[in-house]
Structure 1
Amino acid sequence: MNLDAFWIIMTGSLVAISSGLLGCFLILRRMAMVGDAISHAVLPGIVLAFLFSGTREVWSMLFGAAALGVVCTFLIEFFHKKARVPADASIGVTFTWLFALGIILITVYAGQVDLDQDCVLYGEIAYVPLDTWITESGLSLGPRTVWMMAGVTLVILAFITLFYRQLYLTSFDPAFAAAIGISTSLWYYLLMGAVSLTTVASFESVGAILVVALMVGPAATAYLLTDQLKVMLILSAVFGVVASFAGYYLALWLDGSVAGAISVIIGLEFLLAFVFSPTHGLVSRRRHLVVTTPQPASA
C-alpha cells in the first residue's frame, strides 16, 4: 500500500466511523435521509458565505454550509412538530426548497462568478492526498482532511460515549424519556447538530453521495444483524471501514471512481445481510416459515 492509498483509505474510514455511528440513531428515529437533506440544503449557505465574505476560500464556504445545515434541521423539526407533517415529508419539503433557493441565488447574484459549489458539494476522495498540511518549517503532516475528520470523529465518539443514555432513550422511547425529565427536543437538535457537523466536514472532500451512503448503508446493514444498539454501533463502524478499504482496491482494479466503488461495496454488504442475516434475513425467515407451517395430516 502506497502513501496516497493509505491517506485515501484513512479518510474514508474516518468518515465511515463518524457517519455510521450517527446513522444508527437516524435509522432508529426513521430519519435516515437527513444527511442527504443537509448535503443539498446547504447550497444557499455556500452562496451567502461568498456574497458576504467576497471570497471563495473553502473555510468561509464551509462555515456558511454548516449554518444552513443547522437551519435545515430546525425547519425539519419545526414543520414536523408545528404543522404535524410526517418526518419524511418534512425532510423532503425542507431540503428541496432550500436547494432551489440556492440555485436562484447563484443565478441572480453569482451567475458571472466562478463559484465552484460542485467542489464543496461533490468533492472527490481521490484528491485528498493533494491538499497537504505543511508547517512553517516545511514538515508535511499529511492531508488537511485527515486531521479535520480525525477531530470530528473524536468529537462524535465523545458525544455518543458521554450521552449514550440520553440518545438511547430519546431514540427508542421518547415518551418515557420526556416522562423522566429528558428534553427530547434538546437531544434532537444536538443529534442533528452532530449530523450537520459530520456531513459538512465530510462532503467537501469525499462527496455528498458517499457521505449519505456511509451514513445510511452500514447502519442499515448493522440493523439487520443485531437487536442491541451497542453492537449495532460497532458493526456499523466496522462495515464502513471494510467498505472504504475494499472500495478503494475495487476502484483501483476497475480504474473507476473511488467514491462510487465504496458505495457499491456498502450496497453489497447490505444485500448480504438482507439475504443471510440470522434473524431478519430472507433465508432464515423462509426456514422459520417452513418449520412453523403445519403439515397436513396423513390419511
Structure 2
Amino acid sequence: MSYEIWILVTGGLVGLSCGIMGCFLILRKMSMLADAISHTVLLGIVLAFLISHSLNGVYMLIGAAVAGLVTTFIVQLLSSGGIQEDAAIGVVFTSLFAVGVILLSLYAGDVHLDVEHALMGEISFIPWETISLPFIGDIPKAVVMLASIFILNLLLINLFYKEFKITSFDPSMAAAIGIPVLAIHYILMGMVSVTTVSAFDSVGAILVVAMLIAPGATAYLLTDRFKTMLLLSGAIGIFDSVIGYYGAKLFDVSISGSMAVAAGLVFLCSWMFSPKYGLLSKWMKRSYSEKSKTFLEQ
C-alpha cells in the first residue's frame, strides 16, 4: 500500500482502539485518568528500557501496562483516603510524568526517546519502520502493534462485556451480585494502558488523550444504547483521523495535532446539533415549552 494509506490506517486504528476504550472511561467519569495514564506511561517505557536495554515493543507494552496500573492504584488509594479524585489524578499524573522525564534525561538521553516525541509523536515516520510477515510482506511495526492490541481488546470486551457494562453503570449493584469490581477495574485500566502505549510512539500523548475522550464523548451525545455508543465511538475515531490527516495535508501542519483538532471540532458539532442533547435541540424544546405555556395562560 502507499505511504498515505499506511498513515491513514495507523490513525484509523488509533481512533478505533482509543475511541472504544474511551467509552468505558466516560461512563465511569474517569476521563481525566486517560490523560494521567497517557503521560505516566512514559515512566513505564523509560523503566522498561533501563531494565531491558531494548526498545522492543513487548517490553514497552509491559512497562506501560505496569505504569498504568500503578497510576490507577495510587489514584484510587489517595481517593479512598479522602482526597478528591481530580486532585489525586493531578498529583499522581504530574509527579510520575516528571520522574519519567528526569530518568529519561539522566539515563536515556542518547536513545530514540524524548519528551517532545512522547507528547506529539511522529506519525509520518510510521511507513518507514516495517517488519516482514509471512504471506503478507512488509507492514509498518506500528500497524501490527495497534492491530494486535485492538484484537486483544475486542476479545477481552467480548469475554467480560457484562462485567464491564455493569461495573461502569452501577458498581454497587455489581458488587452486590458478586462481580469482582476491583479486579474488573484493573483489567480495564490495563487495557487502557496497553492501548495508550501502542499508539504512544506513533502519534504521541496529545492525540491519544484526544482519541480516548472526544469520540466517546461525541457518541455519548448521539445515543443512549451502550453497544451503539461503542460502535459509534470507534467509527467517529476513524472519521476524526481521516479528516485530521487531510486537514494537516491541506494546511501543512502537524498530522497528530490536526487529528486532535478534528476530534474536538466533531465533538463541538455534536454538542451543538445532537438531536436529543444538543444545544440547538434544547433551545428549540425550551422555546416550544415557553410558547405552549404562554398559549395556555392566554
CA deviations 1:82-136 (Å, max 9, x no partner) are x1323222211211111122233345x4286456233455421111101011369
| 1:272 lines up with 2:256 in the alignment | no
Counterpart residue number, 2:43 = 44
Counterpart Cα distance in 1 of 2:156 and 2:253 = 36
| 1:141 lines up with 2:152 in the alignment | no
The size of the alignment, in residue pairs, is: 294
SS at match of 2:179: coil
Q: 1:151 aligns with which of 148, 151, 158?
A: 148
Distance 1:63 1:159, change over 3 A: closer
Show structure 2 runs of 5+ residues with no match. Answer: none
Counterpart residue number, 2:73 = 74
Q: Is the 8 A contact 1:46 1:117 kept in 2?
A: no
CA deviations 1:158-197 (Å, max 9, x no partner) are 1112211111110111111111111111111011010001
SS at match of 1:133: strand
| 1:175 lines up with 2:172 in the alignment | yes
Cα deviation, residue 55, structure 1: 4.8
Query: Normalising by the residue count of structure 2, what TM-score does the alignment of the two structures yield?
Result: 0.91
Q: Is the 8 A contact 1:19 1:214 kept in 2?
A: yes
> Structure 1 residues 192-201 or 88-97, which shifts more?
88-97
Identity %: 45
Q: How is 1:58-207 mapped onto 2 (pairs within 5 angstroms)?
A: 60-81=59-80, 83-107=81-105, 109-110=106-107, 113-114=110-111, 116-118=113-115, 119-120=117-118, 122-134=120-132, 140-207=137-204
Q: Is the 8 A contact 1:43 1:117 kept in 2?
A: no
Cα deviation, residue 66, structure 1: 3.2
SS at match of 2:224: coil
Q: Is the 8 A contact 2:244 2:259 kept in 1?
A: yes
SS at match of 2:31: coil
CA deviations 1:240-272 (Å, max 9, x no partner) are 111111111111111111111111211111111
Q: Is the 8 A contact 1:132 1:140 kept in 2?
A: no
CA RMSD, aligned part only? 2.2
Cα deviation, residue 15, structure 1: 1.3
Distance 1:50 1:160, change over 3 A: closer
Q: Is the 8 A contact 1:160 1:167 kept in 2?
A: yes
Counterpart Cα distance in 2 of 1:207 and 1:106 = 16
Counterpart residue number, 2:228 = 231
Counterpart Cα distance in 2 of 1:275 and 1:144 = 39
Q: Letter of the aligned partner of 2:7 in structure 1?
A: I
